[in-house]
């Protein structure tokens, strides 16, 4: 990502969008399909989410857990100020987030939930059960779905659509977890797959650290992917009633993200020594035809 001189508003816009694209190729691609009037707001909100996530996932490696906890609390203080209309004036992100809030009335609760998700990581809370996995994914993914609603639907629809938005966010977060098992344990010594599942499938944390695809590991990953798939499917009813441009953009993001799980299958469930990614060509094809189930059937049939 290039370093820009932010002397004008156009410079700020370029920095925000370039940062958005740098950190999320998939979501920024799908955002092009949303109404132009909300694209910059979506990118700004994404950078807020990224700011929180990066403390728990990157800064902690640079400054240690105690300092990272302090930085999360500082972000919470800055969010308090920003939502009250008094953002730190010398920081582009907070100034522009304050503008987005003034224009669109961002939901406060989900923005603080994301911070709670970062605290979960930094405080080392374990993921023991499926319930823990869903709870964590709701804090860091479901909250993002709820935050997005002001850009997707009329205010009088937000309460009705929030359950579907959260389910889509949870599904995407579980997809992230499935994709990143190897990176999470190698770089952060974290395992988000429930401990009970590891025990049931006879998969040890040692096998994960050794990047060894144990015999029961594909079954374990399929359990996680089934959990995500259920929520993708449940979210689509809500997506279907969005205005056309919003529906098209969010449906595209969901299809592109869900396809990551097929890439894990295509890699013989090895998400420990390699990272699954969806090619641009396949992403674009998903805009026209959702071939997820057909490809999943072929990949799982081949595996057996």
- Same domain flag for 74 and 192: no
Residue with tokens 């958005």: 20
Q: What pLDDT is recorded for position 302?
A: 75
Is residue 224 within 8 A of residue 174, CB to CB? The reply is: yes
- Same domain flag for 84 and 129: no
DSSP string for residues in 205-273:
HHHHHTT---TTHHHHHHHHHHHHHHHHHHHHHHHTTS-HHHHHHHHHHHHHHHHHHHHHHHTTT--SS
pLDDT tens digits, 233-264 = 999 999 999 999 999 999 999 999 999 999 99
- Same domain flag for 71 and 208: no
Within-domain flag for 285:
yes
Within-domain flag for 247:
yes
Q: What pLDDT is recorded for position 303?
A: 67
- Same domain flag for 149 and 225: yes
Within-domain flag for 53:
yes
Task: Tell me the mean pLDDT in the region 5-11.
Answer: 81
Angle at 236 between CA 290 and CA 53, to 5 degrees: 95
Is residue 92 within 8 A of residue 10, CB to CB? The reply is: no
- Same domain flag for 38 and 165: no
Count CA atoms within 13 Å of residue 281 on its CB side: 0
Q: What pLDDT is recorded for position 35?
A: 93
At how many degrees (to 10) do helices 92-104 and 36-54 cross? 130
* pLDDT at position 1 over 80: no
- Same domain flag for 132 and 98: no
- Same domain flag for 194 and 303: yes
pLDDT tens digits, 213-223 = 999 999 999 99
* pLDDT at position 228 over 80: yes
Task: Tell me the mean pLDDT in the region 208-233.
Answer: 96
In total, how many domains does the chain have?
2
Q: What is the mean pLDDT of the chain?
A: 94
- Same domain flag for 145 and 269: yes
* Residue 44 belongs to domain with CATH number: 1.10.600.10
- Same domain flag for 32 and 88: yes
- Same domain flag for 167 and 238: yes
Q: Is 49 exposed, middle or buried (0-12, 13-18, 19+ CB in 10 A)?
A: buried
Domain span at 61: 9-106
Q: What pLDDT is recorded for position 113?
A: 98
- Same domain flag for 258 and 199: yes
**Which of 13-17, 56-60, 193-197 is least confident?**
13-17
* pLDDT at position 111 over 80: yes
- Same domain flag for 91 and 195: no
């Amino acid at each position: 990502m290039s370093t820009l001189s932010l002397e004008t508003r156009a410079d700020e816009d370029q920095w925000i969008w370039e940062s958005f694209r740098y950190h999320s190729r998939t979501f920024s691609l799908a955002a092009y399909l949303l109404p132009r009037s909300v694209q910059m707001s979506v990118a700004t909100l994404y950078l807020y989410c990224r700011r929180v996530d990066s403390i728990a996932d990157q800064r902690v490696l640079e400054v240690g857990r105690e300092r990272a906890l302090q930085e999360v609390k500082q972000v919470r203080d800055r969010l308090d100020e920003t939502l009250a209309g008094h953002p730190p004036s010398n920081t582009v992100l907070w100034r522009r987030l304050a503008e987005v809030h003034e224009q669109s009335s961002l939901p406060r609760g989900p923005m603080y939930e994301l911070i709670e998700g970062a605290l979960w990581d930094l405080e080392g809370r374990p993921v023991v059960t499926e319930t823990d996995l869903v709870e964590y994914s709701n804090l860091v993914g479901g909250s993002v779905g709820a935050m997005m609603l002001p850009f997707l639907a009329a205010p009088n629809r937000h309460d009705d659509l929030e359950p579907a938005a959260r389910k889509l966010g949870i599904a995407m977060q579980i997809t992230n977890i499935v994709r990143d098992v190897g990176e999470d344990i190698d770089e952060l010594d974290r395992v988000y797959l429930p401990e009970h599942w590891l025990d049931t499938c006879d998969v040890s944390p040692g096998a994960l650290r050794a990047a060894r695809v144990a015999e029961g590991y594909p079954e374990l990953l399929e359990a996680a992917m089934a959990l995500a798939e259920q929520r993708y499917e449940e979210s689509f009813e809500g997506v279907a009633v969005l205005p056309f441009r919003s529906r098209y953009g969010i449906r595209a993001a969901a299809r592109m993200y869900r396809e990551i799980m097929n890439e894990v299958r295509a890699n013989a469930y090895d998400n420990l020594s390699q990272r699954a990614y969806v090619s641009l060509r396949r992403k674009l094809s998903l805009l026209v035809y959702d071939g997820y189930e057909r490809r999943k059937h072929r990949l799982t049939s081949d595996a057996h």
